[in-house]
Amino acid sequence: MIYKIITKKEFKKFINGLISENEAIGPKQVDTDAKGKPIYQFKQVHSFDEIDLDYTVTYSSLKNFFLPFREELSTFSFENNDWEQNIEYHVNPRVIIGVRPCDINALNKLDNIFINGKFPSPYYLARRMNTFLIGLDHIPPADCFCESFDAHQVNLGFHLFCSDAGDKYHLAINSSKAFNFLKNVKTGEPTEKDNKAYIERKKLIKKKFRTRVNTAGLYHYLDLEFKSPIWKKWGDKCLNCGTCAMVCPTCYCFGIEENIDVSLKKSQRERIQYSCNIVDFAEVAGGHNFRPLNEDRLKYRYYHHYKGFAENANEQICVGCNRCGRACLAGINPKDVINDLRLESTDEL
Ligand code: SF4
Ligand code: SF4
């Protein structure tokens, strides 16, 4: 990693340069909630002034820019007793500005599935490879617990990471592309004082977390609590709406739809994001549902996030952003569910 210092004035010039050459996405206020608090989303931007770098957290995650809600995988044509498959995907070079560490960590987890996994996705890979990612640190919102999953800091998966240092940024440069882009603006070498301030900023961010989840031994608690009554307690509240999975930066369950034209001469295959909490998630041909109960569906979502993925990839898939907790109309959130699990088990592991 190479470190540089850039003034905020020069940074604005740098970002405007990138925006003029690329499709650009950044955090913007789109509305206010019932309490008058701003709601932010990642949106297309056309100048630096449209971006709100002081945003708290976006309602939806960045996932949708890499795994769209609905995406065409291929089309088929059936002519003269033969068939042909056509696959097309096209991604413009783009830049995403102001991404928080937990959201970059979430993308790194998706990389493990869609790039490094057994069945890599060329659609995902094309988007990831054509995206220049600029991270930005922040003082965490009160209900965020990414520090509990060590997702409040990030060392890979971005091109450039900015740490706020008053009227300048301490930049971590993580790619030759970022290094070359920065040649167009004025940067300086960090002094000893800058580096000390950078370390102090990191310590301050860690100290500012007000929500913590005790994840020690969680993997084993889940092993022991498969039949726990807490799954029914929380499952009974669940509305099966699937919102938690839609806003989550790492939920990636999907369904495949085949749309056959009435002429029977062509068809289209689409991938659509899905949620394991939705009633028919485990329904198979013939109408049998392997998970008809709310409590089972909710439980398996938690097992996938905190155990199944940990078993397969040696890490938990949750990054602790609490988007699911904020969006859930039934008041279900990982902190309370995990705390309940711990109360179930009397012995500390
Ligand atoms: S958002 Fe809440 S109510 Fe909706 S499916 Fe998820 S846990 Fe259930
Ligand atoms: S806190 Fe919720 S939304 Fe965020 S990564 Fe974990 S499960 Fe997904």
48 and 113 assigned to the same domain: yes
126 alpha carbon – ligand 2 mean position (Å): 25
Query: Looking at the structure, do residues 162 and 239 belong to the same domain, yes or no?
Result: no
Interval 137-162: pLDDT, tens: 999 999 999 999 999 999 999 999 99
- The answer to whether residue 264 is domain-embedded is no
Over residues 14-28, the mean pLDDT reads 97
In a domain, 79, yes or no: no
Secondary structure class of 196 (helix, strand, coil) = helix
Does the C-beta of 334 come closer than 6 Å to ligand 2? yes
pLDDT of residue 84: 94
Residue 344 has pLDDT above 60, yes or no: yes
Distance (Å) from CA 253 to ligand 1 centroid: 15
174 CB neighbour count, 10 Å cutoff: 20
Q: What is the mean pLDDT of residues 295-312?
A: 87
**Do 57 and 138 belong together in one domain?**
yes
Do the domain assignments include residue 93? yes
Output DSSP code: residue 157: S
Which atom of ligand 1 is nearest the CA belonging to 277?
Answer: 5
In tens, the pLDDT along 304-343 reads: 999 877 667 678 899 999 999 999 999 999 999 999 988 7
Does residue 267 form part of some domain? no
Which protein residue's CA is at the shortest distance from atom 6 of ligand 2?
A: 318
Residue range of the domain that includes 313: 218-257+273-348
Return the percentage of the chain with pLDDT > 70, whole number. 97
Read off the pTM: 0.94
The Cα–Cα gap between 107 and 101 comes to 10
Domain count within the chain: 2
Taking the C-alpha atoms of residue 349 and residue 342, their distance in angstroms, rounded to an integer, is: 10
Q: Are residues 59 and 175 in the same domain?
A: yes
Residues 223 and 189 in one domain: no
Is residue 238 predicted with pLDDT exceeding 90? yes
